[in-house]
Amino acid sequence: MRVLLGVTGGIAAYKVAMVVRRLKADGHAVRVIPTEASLNFVGRATWEALSGEPATTQTFDNVPSVEHVRLGQRADIVLVAPATADFLASAARGEARDLLGNALLATHAPVVFAPAMHTEMWNHPATVANVATLRTRGAHVIEPAVGRLTGPDSGPGRLPEPDEIVDALYAVAGDAGVVLEPSSETRPWGDLAGVSIVISAGGTREPIDAVRFLGNRSSGHQGFALAEAARERGARVTVVAANVQLPLGEGIARVDVESSEQLGAAVKSAAATADVVIMAAAVADFRPAAVSGTKLKKKADAGLTLELVQTEDILASLVRERRERQVIVGFAAETGDDAASAAAYARQKARRKGADLLVFNEVGATRGFGDVPNSVTFYDADGVAQGAASGTKLHVAHAVLDAIAQLAVSEQSLR
C-alpha cells in the first residue's frame, strides 16, 4: 500500500526512521512529508534515503505536478508520527499551512496520528479538545506511551515504539479495507506508475560521406525534460536519443542513435511493448540518396549537387502499426509564412499524422531551441486544440504528461 508519512517537529522523529524501515521491509511504498520544524531533528536526506522517494516540505516545491493535492489523493493511508501538540491543533482546525496540512485536507484515506509531547501538553484541555475533534472526524489517534520523556521528566506522552506504531497502522488499514499487499511497482507514488513510455529526443544526422552529415538544431532538452518528468511520475521510461549531449537521471533506459533510420528502428523496437510513444525528436525528412564511404573531394571549382530522398515518416508508421490502445504523441515545430500561420500548419499536420496528440510550438532561428522556455498548444487527431502550456521545458513536460494521463484514463489504456 501507499503510506503517506507526515513527520512533525519533535525529538521522537528519530524513532520514525525505523517505522519507514519496517514499512519498506514489508514491501510498502512510503512517501515522507516532513514539516519544516521537523528538519531540525531529522534531515531530508534521511527520509529520502530510507523511503527512496523525494521528501518535500513546502506546498510550492513541485507545483507542476500539483503535489499538494496529488499526494493526499493517492495515499492508501496517512500516518503522522510524531504528531506534536501544535500539529494536532493545526489539523483539528483544518489548516493547510504547509504541504503536510494540504495533503491531510486532500485525502480520503484513513489518517492515524501518533502524538508525542510532554505530559502537561498531552493533558492540556486544548490538546484534549483537539484530539477529541480529530477522533470525531474519524481520525485514529494512538495513545502515547508512558515513560521517559525529553530531559528528566517521565509520564504519558512518549512516542510508542516503531513496531507498535506500524502494528496500529496495519490494524487501521485492515479495518478500513485497505489492501495490505506490498506494492509491486518501483515508484508507485506517481500517476504514471507501471506505464511504459518511449520518448525520442534530439535531432537526427543523415550521413553525406565519411565525415559530413545533414542535421538540425534540436538540442534534446524538451525530450529529456519529458523523460525526467515521466520517471518522476512513476513511468518506466526509454529514451531514444539522437545526438544529445545531455545527461539523463537514474533509472531511465537510454539508446543513443544518429540517423533517422537508426532512430526509427530503435523506437519501433521499444514501441512494441510500450503503452505510450512520444516522438519529440526532430527527424530529418530527407537523407542523401547515396552515402560516400570516404570524404567527398572538391573537384576544381565545381559545386556539388546532393540528391536527397525522403526518409520514413516514423510517426505515421507508429500510428499505422500501433498496439491496441497505445497512446501516440507527436511534436510539431512550425514556422508560419505568407500562406498560413504556424498554428494553421500545426492543425493540418495533426489531422494528417493522426497521432492522439500533436504538441505544437512555434520556432525560429532564435526561438524554441535549447534550454529556453517553451510555449505549446496540444491538438488532437481532428486538429482541435485540447490545451496549452508555457514555461520551462520541465513545466511543459508535465503539462504534456497531464494530457497523456487524461487521454489514457479516458481510453482506459493505462493500468
* Positions in the binding site for ligand CTP (CB under 6 A): 260, 279, 281, 283, 285, 311, 313-315, 330-333, 349
Q: Report the DSSP beta bridge partners of residue 287.
A: 309
Phi, psi of 212 (to 5 degrees): -105, 155
CB nearer ligand CTP, residue 270 or residue 314: 314
Q: Which residues contact 328 (CB under 8 A, 6 or more apart)?
A: 276, 277, 279, 315, 318, 319, 322, 355, 356, 357
Closer CB to ligand CTP, 26 or 313, in the complex = 313
Q: How far is the CB of 325 from ligand CTP (least distance, A)?
A: 20
Distance CA 7, CA 22 (A): 16
Residue 325 gets the label, from left (phi > 0), alpha (psi -120 to 50) or beta, of left
Dihedral (C-alpha) 343, 276, 386, 406: value to the nearest 10 degrees? -170
Minimal distance in Å, beta carbon 210 to ligand CTP? 24
Find the shortest distance in angstroms from Cβ 340 to ligand CTP.
Answer: 12
The least CB distance from residue 315 to ligand CTP, in Å, is: 3
The nearer residue to ligand CTP, 71 or 282, going by C-beta atoms, is 282
Our CB check for ligand CTP shows the closer of 141 and 242 to be 242
Among 102, 130, 216, 374, the one annotated catalytic: 216
Distance of CA 396 to the CA centre of its chain: 12
CB nearer ligand CTP, residue 283 or residue 397: 283
List Cα–Cα distances, 98 to 57, 94, 104, 243, 329, in angstroms.
Answer: 7, 12, 10, 42, 36
Q: Is 216 annotated as catalytic? A: yes
Q: How close are the terminal C-alpha atoms of the chain, in Å?
A: 16
**Least separation in angstroms between CB 274 and ligand CTP:** 15
Q: What is the Cα–Cα distance from 231 to 23, expressed in whole angstroms? A: 23
Task: Tell me which residues are annotated as active site.
Answer: 216
